[in-house]
Amino acid sequence: MILWEFPLALASFLFHGLIKNFMRVVLMLHDARSGKEAEKWIVLSQDDMLARPGALPLIMTTAPRWNTHAILATLSPIAVSKFVEIETSSADRSAASWTIVVCTYAGRQTVTSIGSLSPVPANGKARIELVAGKYWLGLRYYERRGEVELPAVSADGQLVAAAQSIFIGTNDFYRDLFKRSSFFYLALHYYVFVLLRYRSFFPENFVRREFLPMGNPETQFVFGALRRNEQLLIRVEPQAFADWNVLLTVYNLASFPIQSEHLRTPEFRVIAAADCAYLFRVNRRSDREKNFPNDWLRLQVTKA
């Protein structure tokens, strides 16, 4: 099987690079033509983001490892001379665990981040000093608390985006997202399955760069691939649940989510009905532990 998988994976890898660069150029040209600055958070939802022309191909080349466990929103571009201020009190009211990552706008390089485990500002606003430039903010809310409100953001003392309430069922679109699978998206992402399946053949940094989503300082990742009719036996140390969210997403070969689990029991199993990839997001939810011990999540792959 390896004889035909590797040539197909190489073709997929080259195709992915071509489409990713094309979409990046299209986005830059669009932003340059519009010349608009951010005015509100854009929520990853069916009505807010996915309904926009070209949004799905863009996501599938820039952030294809869908986070089915968090409410996600982005704010960009933000022109900053000295600092931004974020109303963290809104985030604290809306989610038990949250992070906001600040990245450069053009290169999407992480500059800094704040979150629910950061020191609490006295006035409910976090001030972040930045070098003059344009920036992209990415927000994740885990374990929402009732009504959900995205925080107000200011740059250099001027309001950029007001606080924004959103529909609590904003993530419902994930239930049917797999129906958007097509040969185009399979061609984009088939190489990832081969990278994961033959992981020992490739540099680990390369595999992680190609598969993992944008880094989050409060999250650790465990990942791999299953062939059809294999099962993944999962054992989690019971004491882990006090300080960590153990979140599992399974993706088809086109990188659309087909299963999403927030693990709450010490043992769980996934049976693969088709070739797939899996990703654990182990999200820190308290400041008692800084690192998740490797032996607290034990995986075994067997025949179903």
Q: At 268, which CATH number? A: 2.60.290
118-142 average pLDDT score:
91
Note the pLDDT of residue 265: 96
Same domain, 201 and 134: no
Judged by DSSP in three states, 105 sits in: coil
Residue 198 sits in which domain range?
Answer: 184-303
C-alpha 45/C-alpha 73 separation (Å) is 9
C-alpha 248/C-alpha 223 separation (Å) is 9
Instruction: Tell if the pTM clears 0.75, that is, is over it.
Output: yes
Residue 144 in domain: yes
- The pLDDT of residue 291 is above 90: no
129-154 average pLDDT score:
93
- The pLDDT of residue 48 is above 90: no
Highest mean pLDDT among 43-47, 48-52, 219-223: 219-223
Residue that terminates a domain, selected from 170, 200, 216: 170
- For residue 38, the 8-state DSSP code is P
Most distant CA pair in the chain: distance in Å?
61
Note the pLDDT of residue 54: 86
- Supply the CATH number for residue 134's domain: 2.60.120
Residue 241 in domain: yes
Residue 118 in domain: yes
Residue 7 in domain: no
C-alpha 275/C-alpha 13 separation (Å) is 18
- The pLDDT-based confidence of 35 (bands split at 50, 70, 90) is low
Per-residue pLDDT of 107-122, as tens digits, reads 778 899 999 998 877 7
Sign of the torsion angle spanned by Cα atoms 260, 102, 73, 121: positive
- The pLDDT of residue 46 is above 80: yes
Judged by DSSP in three states, 249 sits in: strand
- The pLDDT-based confidence of 39 (bands split at 50, 70, 90) is confident
Same domain, 241 and 146: no
- The pLDDT-based confidence of 1 (bands split at 50, 70, 90) is low
Q: Kindly state the tokens that stand for 33.
A: 């033509």
Per-residue pLDDT of 170-225, as tens digits, reads 999 999 999 999 999 999 999 999 999 999 999 999 999 999 987 777 899 999 99
Q: CA 298, 68, 302 angle in degrees (round to 5)? A: 30
Q: Kindly state the tokens that stand for 112.
A: 């800094």
247 bridge partner residues: 262, 281
- The pLDDT-based confidence of 29 (bands split at 50, 70, 90) is confident
Residue 256 in domain: yes
- For residue 33, the 8-state DSSP code is H
- The pLDDT of residue 143 is above 70: yes
Residue 179 in domain: no
